[in-house]
Amino acid sequence: MKIDQQKTTTRKPKSTTKPKKKTTKNKIKEEIYNSISPRNIFYAVIAGILLAIIVIVCNRCESPDKKEECYCENATAPIRSKSKFRDINPEQLAHAQANGLKQIIKDKKDFETKIDSLVDNDILVKIKPNKYYNIRKLTHSYPYLTPEALDLLNLIGKRFQANLQAEGLPKYKFQISSLLRTIEFQRQLTRQNVNATYGLSAHYYGTTFDIAYDKYDRRGKSYQDPKVEAILEKTLRELREECRMMIIRESSNKCFHMTVVKIEN
């Protein structure tokens, strides 16, 4: 009697975890191709061109005829920004040395020896009070500037009066608090004034002066007026944007410290 042997088969237990989705190489290639498709590249190029146009327009001056003033291309020393209002000493010093006295004055004796010759040769001009400004009692400077610095000072005065009138305010004079300094004066100031530069100062060269912003004169009296102060600052910002000067506001001394900028023809 033939006995049939029953074959036994072993079945693998069913997996309880869900099968992972297969990410084939072809699918990855397809995703990469879609991300760099000609259509996407076209849009990226257009976006880049538009961004470049925006940057160029934002960096241009308001009008073509003001390009030279805005970018200060012909200034005798570098100017990094047309609207900066915090030009520190090294930046102002570069303009002072390029456009001012070639030999700085050491002390009172040196000043008295040289001043007549400097004035006779139109290197320095004596600054006197006028309809635009008064000069405070000077203890550490002399009332002299280069002709270019005097022109700037008078231009500030004219613009200041025009802006006051435009705002319906009466005429005020601003006050000048410092002009030409000697090395001796500067050393004295460094002992009592934290803003006084130790070493070389732009004030040595006759190109630099300080205008006080805390008080303004009218009919022989001095006044404090935030509106007038705002008009003076507006005036100086306008001239800074035209690259007429380098400037910084000194809070401790309550003054605007500025150096004339010379543009070569």
Q: What is the pLDDT of residues 225-243, one digit of tens each?
A: 999 999 999 999 999 999 9
CA distances from 73 to 69, 79, 162, 207, 230 (A): 7, 9, 28, 20, 29
Query: Which has the higher per-residue pLDDT, 109 or 192?
Result: 109
Closest listed residue to residue 181, CA positions, set 105, 129, 113, 112: 105
Q: What is the dihedral of CA 106, 144, 189, 157, to 10 degrees?
A: -160
Identify the helix (H) or strand (E) that includes residue 111.
helix 108-120
Overall residue count recorded for the chain in this entry:
265
CB neighbour burial string for 156-167, b if at least 16 within 10 angstroms, e if fewer: bbebbbebbeee
Residue 40 backbone phi and psi in degrees, to 5: -65, -40
Q: 0.85 cut: is pTM over it?
A: no
76, two tokens = 């005798």
If you write DSSP's letter for every residue of 158-199 in order, what string do you get? HHHHHHHHHTTPPP-EEEEEE-B--HHHHHHHHTT-TTSPSS
Identify the helix (H) or strand (E) that includes residue 99.
helix 89-99
What pLDDT score was predicted for residue 56? Answer: 45
Range 170-196 average pLDDT: 87
CATH 3.30.1380 fits 68-260, yes or no: yes
Q: How confident is the model at residue 53 (pLDDT cuts 50, 70, 90)?
A: low
Q: Is 185 exposed, middle or buried (0-12, 13-18, 19+ CB in 10 A)?
A: buried
Give the tens place of pLDDT for each residue, 60-90: 444 434 443 345 778 889 887 777 889 999 9
Residue 207 backbone phi and psi in degrees, to 5: -105, -5
Alpha carbon 69 to chain centroid, angstroms: 14
What pLDDT score was predicted for residue 37? Answer: 59
Identify the helix (H) or strand (E) that includes residue 74.
none
Q: How confident is the model at residue 185 (pLDDT cuts 50, 70, 90)?
A: very high
What pLDDT score was predicted for residue 35? Answer: 54
Contact 175, 135 (CB under 8 A): yes
